[in-house]
Chain A
């Protein structure tokens, strides 16, 4: 881009804007028709100095186009927009998005090619976000082209982009081949294949990366013969590119390509490359293989999985780079699940489990916690006996891990084991682990374990819960971190939903209400928050007889925050109460609070009165 071009486009943009804007204002004025006036304002804003105003206007572009009508949109608005390409990237992004939905506004599929010039310019800008959006819109409108228009207008655009001299246009071209390929004649198809081939060996790595990331998608629209003749050689070349950022993208393509090929060709056409990727010298490529392992496994089928992928997976689980081990550990369950049934158990027991055992005591905590998030899933695959004999010791070891995240991951997946061997097997080790997490110095850890309480309660049963965990749940209510107290309140509500109102009445309501007399006002407020959360689950009886009196009594609290929370609580529990209680008990208290000396108390009392319709 030379300076003259920039200046010229700014000049053009001003000229055409003035033209369009003033012309519209005149139209609006001359006809005495005010309906176009807002449009004139919008167009005015397209040239405003303030980016935000330009942006607003661009976002309402469809309104402008609608008002101008299809013809003027084509002949005036679009040429103008094509020239605004030198603008803030934010504005361009909005423009690129808008144009993808413009087909009807330029007169339908017959005229959709009018949208190509502005989108073509947008597809060449530097900023990735804008370019990607332009490509997305181009892909969208390509579907609205007739086969003829596709060859006359769209395909030449793709060609121009593919042979552009700056890398941005070539990267954009990579995303467009697959949308036009299926709908053009065979000569054009051959040209498209040739262009794609050229871009795969482009000398800038940015373009090769773009091509590699679209290789799978392009392969899907090609005829099988061309997949074998063209795609495979490109795939092999990209997979041995000098830059690892290109090689790792070939791994993704590998999944699509392997799915397309008949089983008998996989061994010769795909496997040599895949084997090489799994042992690549760059950990990024090995990471990618580990990350895509389940997809690869499905794509190559059971036989190759048994012979090739099992040893490859073992190696990845033992990789020297923790990042790779963690990615592989994440896939353990899925990989085992998808093994062919006839040999599944044997493969897991002899090949996978030994590696898993080592990972339990890995030096890296991310690896251990990745494993902890899936390891419980193995119990359903291996069945009761194997779980008790082989997996249980691993679960127990992870429950005692020094890193809280590992323990949390185990606890959060307890339901899988519960189905197979029942949770009782674990409860003896579970309890110390839970207690330790519940008292962890980091409040985020405490918060995480609270969130699993309802699940645990459901699985361990009410008795175990009352005996061992209830005290913990109550202790969280007086935690010194608000987020914990809040979560604890919410937890109580979920427990009541699980165990029922009667349980609540006997075990937690008395304790919660007892806190109303606590010397610390924060604890007194917690009582109110608990009542807010519990009233609905506990029902009218308990709310009216036990909770309401306590709330009403607290309206005399000397701390204003408590008093206005009383007002809020009354508003919240009002719908649960009967009208008698509302009129005789709640109303007088709220009326008194409405005359409080504190303005917040007054405000919330009045709000409660009007919401409960007590005025």
Chain B
């Protein structure tokens, strides 16, 4: 589809950011080198408005010194103290306050992680409130509107020194043996989860890493939210595919889904099949596929291992969205096809072999040697080779003309010698068929001349 994909007509244009300055687009092409040269802050913070009247923090007694009777009260006070937000873009502002909050957060993390019996019911709303106040915010516009996650340095979150501890606290909280899902579910609700998912768009990979683990824990412990989480991830993906083509956390969300799919019950529910066909397969059309392709291919293969009958959907879907102009993506697709063929059931293979090997033949004749090479490597795979051998009568006629022609014409010597090996393999597999095809190929050719 990339040949026809127009810029999304979605009106949420602000995400596209600044237009390229006129001096840089005189010839219509913004220049990377110029973008680089632009002055850039290396940090950005996204807290919209800091509290206007900044509260002066005073250090509280240490948790470990507190008498048991006062422990919960003190814990609560520390949580409230940590709700105060600081301006990290001004790195010298209110250093004392920042230090007090940092120490308090450290203590909270330590306490939740090590001591038992701290998490009692009244603390849940306070803890969730502290987490919400700190982590939920509208992410800032990207410093670099053409941010390319593969090439550009991400903008890091300036308030990370505090944010990290808040995430750490949240994680320890969820992982604590005292954690009671039945109490938490009143505060970790759908609205909370939705905001959590939106944070996956953060440009800061450290933040996404925490979010990934946290969401995974939430999914694991709060059963009532599972369907909702899956649905919202679907929405994020669909928006990414069809509207904005921009979301930083696709790889992380796919990684979570990989393990979720692993746990699907059999037979697959239609909701899950729909997810495969309407979300996972179309995700292959994304321009930024390379960033999350490994995770995506993993999810796809997981589905096949769960239920072999989805194989045909998958292969036909990939063939439908086969890249037409981007060779880099073509190599990725071929890689994924090999992963799929590695676990394919022979009966399923027969259903897709014709269209599949037509595409593989097309790849072999690609003038880009990496594409041709990647396709020819299939013949080095024992299992794939055995499938080809079983279906030699069908496959050889599909690829023969291409192999023969490309072996004479390809500019790259490696490709030519790989093809000779493949032809040799075929000759050994079925010499009769091979000879017939050679003869008829020569006759065809004669006719053309």
Contact = CB atoms under 8 A, between A and B. Distances in A.
Interface of A: 1, 3, 6, 88-90, 93, 126-129, 132, 166-167, 204-206, 209, 213, 242, 244-245, 248-249, 252, 281-284, 287-288, 291, 320-323, 326, 365-366, 369, 404-405, 408-409, 442, 444-445, 447-448, 483
B23 interface: yes
A248 B320 CA distance: 35
Interface string B1-20: 10111101111101101100
User: For chain A, what secondary structure do more than half of its interface residues adopt (helix, strand, loop), or is it mixed?
Assistant: helix
Interface in B1-60: 1, 3-6, 8-12, 14-15, 17-18, 21-24, 26-27, 31, 34, 38-39, 48-49
Nearest to B45: A320
9 contacts: A1-B277, A127-B1, A206-B243, A249-B12, A283-B14, A320-B48, A323-B18, A369-B21, A444-B31
B239 interface: yes
Nearest to A246: B12
B26 A447 contact: yes
A532 B189 CA distance: 74
Contacts of A409: 22
Given A205-B235, A252-B11, A283 B138 contact: yes
B220 to A, nearest CB: 24
A409 B313 CA distance: 55
Contact of A129 (B5, B31, B48): B5
B238 interface: yes
B277 A248 contact: no
A248 B14 contact: yes
Contacts, number: 105
A323 B312 contact: no
Contacts of B8: 128
Contacts of A213: 11
A122 to B, nearest CB: 14
Contacts of A209: 10-12, 243
A321 B239 contact: no
| B5, B138, B320 — most chain A CB neighbours (10 Å) | B138
Given A242-B191, A252-B11, A442-B23, A283 B242 contact: no
Q: Which 5 A-B pairs have the closest CB atoms?
A: A282-B138, A287-B14, A323-B141, A405-B21, A284-B14
Contact of B14 (A204, A242, A323): A323
| Chain B interface residue number, banded | 35 or more
Contacts of B282: 126
A448 B12 contact: no
A445 B24 CA distance: 8
Contacts of A404: 23
B48 A249 contact: no
A445 B23 contact: yes
Nearest to A204: B235
A128 B7 CA distance: 10
Nearest to B10: A209
B278 interface: yes
Contacts of B18: 323, 326, 366
B275 to A, nearest CB: 12
Contact of A244 (B6, B9, B138): B138
B22 A129 contact: no
A1 B191 CA distance: 31
B91 interface: no
B26 A3 contact: no
| A127, A132, A248 — most chain B CB neighbours (10 Å) | A127
B9 A132 contact: yes
A365 B27 CA distance: 21
Contacts of B15: 284
Given A3-B312, A129-B4, 4 more contacts: A132-B9, A291-B14, A365-B38, A408-B23
Contacts of A448: 22-23, 26
B140 interface: yes
Contacts of B9: 128-129, 132
B16 to A, nearest CB: 10
Given A128-B243, A252-B11, A90 B48 contact: no
B120 interface: no
B17 A284 contact: no
B14 A89 contact: no
B39 A365 contact: yes
Interface string B234-250: 01001100110000000
B394 to A, nearest CB: 17
Contacts of A90: 1, 3-4
B358 to A, nearest CB: 9
Contacts of A248: 11-12, 14
Contact of A245 (B4, B12, B22, B48): B12
B54 to A, nearest CB: 16
Given A1-B277, A283-B141, A129 B243 contact: no
A302 to B, nearest CB: 28
Contact of A442 (B34, B238, B239, B316): B34
Nearest to A168: B242
A392 to B, nearest CB: 24
A325 to B, nearest CB: 11
B227 interface: no
A126 B1 CA distance: 12
A424 B64 CA distance: 75
B6 A283 contact: no
B194 interface: yes
A242 B194 contact: yes
B313 A3 contact: yes
Contacts of A252: 11
A244 B12 CA distance: 9
Nearest to A322: B141
B23 A89 contact: no
Interface in B216-241: 235, 238-239
Contacts of B191: 242
Contacts of B141: 283, 321-323
B278 A126 contact: yes
Contact of B48 (A3, A206, A281): A281
| B11, B238, B313, B320 — most chain A CB neighbours (10 Å) | B11
Contacts of B12: 209, 245, 248-249, 284
| B1, B3, B194 — most chain A CB neighbours (10 Å) | B1
A321 B138 CA distance: 11
A420 B239 CA distance: 50
A405 B39 CA distance: 14
Nearest to A245: B12
Contacts of B243: 128, 206, 209
Contacts of A127: 1, 242
Contacts of A442: 23, 34
B242 A126 contact: yes
Contacts of A447: 26
Contact of A323 (B17, B24, B27, B278): B17
Contacts of B38: 365
A405 B4 contact: no
A258 to B, nearest CB: 18
A283 B10 CA distance: 17
B239 A206 contact: yes
B319 to A, nearest CB: 11
A323 B34 CA distance: 20
B235 A444 contact: no
Given A126-B278, A167-B238, A448-B23, A89 B48 contact: no
Given A128-B243, A287-B14, A408 B138 contact: no
Contacts of A3: 312-313
A444 B24 contact: yes
Nearest to B242: A128
Interface in B287-337: 312-313, 316, 320
A288 B13 CA distance: 9
Contacts of B11: 209, 213, 248-249, 252
A127 B320 CA distance: 13
Contacts of A283: 14, 48, 138, 140-141
A203 to B, nearest CB: 8
